[in-house]
Amino acid sequence: MTDILVLGAHGQIARIATALFLERTDARLTLYLRNASRIRPSSDRVTIVDGDVTDLQKLEAAMAGKDVVYANLSGNMEQQARAIVDAMHKCKVKRLIFISSMGIYDEVPGERHGSILDPYRNSVKVIEASDLDYTVIRPAWLNNRDEIAYGTTHKGEAFANKDEIVSRKSVADLVVKLATTPSMESRQSLGVHAA
């Protein structure tokens, strides 16, 4: 049974991924978020922890014994990425799935998003410089369609279908596959686009 720590568990993709984990797998989930009262346990396989990712003591306590860390964050992402890497080293957890944004490598043809993507770029630099078994996910613009239809590109490739919107459920589907398939797309950065 896989034991997964979900950071930023109240995020839209994270909530969909949580439902998919519970529906498709026997994984145990620790949902870590600020204001934990926003989420109610939906299964005896779910534990909810109220905390900030930059609170290393609390983060390490929640991370102890986990197999996978899935981070779906906003805010000071570089500081959060450093805290995650430090905690993962201390807790001897290797597998990280980290949600970022398309455009961080200027891989979207004809678009330059500039400094607005700096928090995403800087956090991914921290992740990529680590020795972790990470997969960075860089989704296109998102919608809430109840569909799973997506493709991926790798770092260094042009982002495909850049003008099409991909569903959050598609991104969540990829998260579940990555978290439950050891070494799938290890140390890769994946653009996620509409199929």
Q: Note the pLDDT tens digit of each residue in 43-64.
A: 999 999 999 999 999 999 999 9
pLDDT category of residue 115 using cuts at 50, 70 and 90:
confident
pLDDT category of residue 73 using cuts at 50, 70 and 90:
very high
Distances (CA, A) of 195 to 145, 150, 174: 13, 4, 13
pLDDT category of residue 2 using cuts at 50, 70 and 90:
very high
Closest CA to 138 of 162, 114, 112, 111: 162
Residue 109 pLDDT more than 90?
no
Decide if 95 contacts 64 (C-beta within 8 A). Answer: no
Q: Which of 28-32, 115-119, 130-134, 152-156 has the lowest mean pLDDT?
A: 115-119
Task: Tell me the domain boundaries of the chain.
Answer: 3-194
Q: What is the pLDDT of residues 117-145, one digit of tens each?
A: 999 999 999 999 999 999 999 999 999 99
- Tokens representing 155 are 């770092």
- The pLDDT value given to residue 14: 97
- The pLDDT value given to residue 51: 96
Residue 112 pLDDT more than 80?
no
| Side-chain half-sphere exposure of 69, counting CA atoms within 13 A | 33
- The pLDDT value given to residue 42: 82
- The pLDDT value given to residue 1: 83
Average pLDDT, stretch 21-26?
A: 97
CATH architecture of the domain with range 3-194: 3-Layer(aba) Sandwich (3.40)
115 — phi, psi (to 5°)? -70, -15
Kindly provide the residue ranges of all beta strands, DSSP E only, lying in the chain, ordered along the sequence: 3-7, 28-33, 46-50, 68-71, 95-99, 133-139, 142-143, 150-154, 166-167, 188-194
Closest CA to 5 of 128, 112, 86, 97: 97
- The pLDDT value given to residue 116: 87
